[in-house]
Amino acid sequence: KAGVTQTPRYLIKTRGQQVTLSCSPISGHRSVSWYQQTPGQGLQFLFEYFSETQRNKGNFPGRFSGRQFSNSRSEMNVSTLELGDSALYLCASTETSGSPNEQFFGPGTRLTVL
Amino acid sequence: AQSVAQPEDQVNVAEGNPLTVKCTYSVSGNPYLFWYVQYPNRGLQFLLKYITGDNLVKGSYGFEAEFNKSQTSFHLKKPSALVSDSALYFCAVRDLYSGNTPLVFGKGTRLSVIA
């Protein structure tokens, strides 16, 4: 079974631009979660989607948004980029939402905002 | 609200010695507890989890963790460290009885195993 894939792996943007990141979960997994990883803050939860519905949302501004498609693939969008948005963005998939099953993580997208 | 604390930013251990990476948690109900490892330029890899049952959980690569409800701890251990164990380790918790809450991660502990 193929693992979680994320594209692109690296992005360089400038302040004020917007960016879209993509995540394809493991086949059969319907829940996708997104996290922001920075050296000082560790992993911060962004949001979770299950069956095309947002189930949970973390404490991030409205510039951060996401969606999930019928094939469970998910995208997250960040508008009006700020320098502080530079981070590794990780997505993780699991079979269902809220279960004790472990999450499977993708390799991440490294976003650099100049 | 649920939370996780990893009190050590960095742990150094000599190869062949036992290692411990500490984790304490706070939940209102019963916890699901997880350990993940992250190697450079990689995503997180699942090591082990505690859901219920035996307090000693065995996982991948010879790692184990002990759930201690009275001390609200879930420390990660390995009897004999390898240089290849050097990585960033994350503890995570989900509250079993708080509905569909997201997984909450600690800030991570960097383990350095010295040959």
B90 chain-A contacts, CB cut-off 8 A: 42-43
Among the partner-chain residues B41, B51, B104, the one whose CB lies closest to the CB of A100 is: B51
The residues pairing with B91 across neighbouring beta strands, listed in sequence order, are B35
Which pLDDT value is given to residue B90? 97
Sequence-ordered strand ranges (E) for A14-100:
19-24, 31-38, 42-50, 53-57, 64-68, 74-78, 87-94
Using CB atoms, pick whichever of A56, A90, A106 lies closest to residue B102. A56
Question: Cβ B46–A92 below 8 Å, yes or no?
Answer: no
The size of the A-B interface in CB pairs under 8 A is 55
The total number of residues shown for chain A amounts to 114
A16-36: per-residue pLDDT in tens? 999 999 999 999 999 999 999
Task: Kindly report, residue by residue over B12-22, the tens digit of the pLDDT.
Answer: 999 999 999 99
pLDDT of residue B99: 63
Q: What is the largest CA-CA distance in chain B?
A: 45
Rounded CA separation A18/B51 (Å): 40
Whether the CB-CB separation of B36 and B90 falls below 8 Å is answered with yes
Question: Is the pLDDT assigned to residue A37 strictly greater than 90?
Answer: yes
Judge whether B44 is closer than 8 Å to chain A, CB to CB: yes
Residues of B in contact with A107 (CB under 8 A): 41-43
> Nearest-CA distance from B5 to chain A in Å?
11
